[in-house]
């Protein structure tokens, strides 16, 4: 008998079914589904404009690049991702000639990433695609709900349970 069997009460089939239903209907799953949908639509539209193989994550990296060049480490920090992942995105963008890399003149161990003219055009087109998709979402749910959605997502994106302030989360007040 495993240690899990020693400490776990046996669940009834109805309890298991309820847990399965709960797992299927989660906020995290919906957010992931919307992210995947948005990314797929954007990638299709990028490809239709001549930017095959690129996704919103490439645009997010570019949004974290300074006009005069940015170290890969700084771009990764801005994206809240690893240096390795940011480096892979840089390589992909560089293969399309949307960014160029040069050794950092201050620290030769570091690499500076600069957006090329073609990269700025891609970035401009990608921003137009983002605006199109968001306009379609707004047409679907309405201007007021779109504003509420953005506000709620911004609040959730900054939530940190370690230093949560219950005043930002109605209904989560803690009794003194």
* H-only helix segments in 25-111: 27-48, 56-63, 72-79, 83-95
Instruction: Per residue of the chain (176 residues), give pLDDT as tens.
Output: 555 555 567 988 888 888 888 877 888 889 999 999 999 999 999 999 999 999 999 999 999 999 999 999 999 999 999 999 999 999 999 999 999 999 999 998 999 999 999 999 999 999 999 999 999 999 999 999 999 999 999 999 998 888 766 555 544 444 43
One of 1.10.10.10, 3.40.50.620, 3.30.1360.30, 1.20.1740.10 is the CATH number of 52-146, namely 1.10.10.10
CA nearest 114: which of 61, 54, 70, 58? 70
CA nearest 111: which of 84, 67, 72, 159? 72
């Amino acid at each position: 008998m495993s240690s899990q069997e020693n400490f776990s009460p046996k669940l009834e089939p109805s309890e298991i079914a309820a847990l399965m239903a709960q797992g299927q209907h989660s906020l995290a799953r919906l957010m992931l589904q919307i992210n995947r949908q948005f990314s797929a639509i954007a990638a299709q539209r990028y490809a239709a404009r001549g930017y095959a193989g690129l996704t919103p994550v490439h645009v997010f990296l570019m949004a974290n690049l300074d006009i005069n060049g940015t170290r890969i480490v700084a771009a990764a920090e801005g994206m809240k991702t690893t240096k390795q992942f940011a480096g892979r995105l840089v390589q992909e963008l560089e293969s399309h000639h949307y960014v160029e890399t040069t050794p950092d003149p201050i620290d030769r161990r570091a690499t500076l990433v600069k957006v090329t003219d073609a990269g700025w055009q891609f970035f401009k087109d990608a921003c137009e695609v983002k605006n199109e998709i968001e306009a379609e979402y707004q047409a679907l749910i309405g201007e007021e709900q779109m504003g509420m959605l953005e506000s709620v997502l911004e609040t959730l994106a900054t939530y940190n349970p370690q230093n949560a302030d219950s005043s930002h989360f109605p209904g989560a007040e803690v009794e003194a």
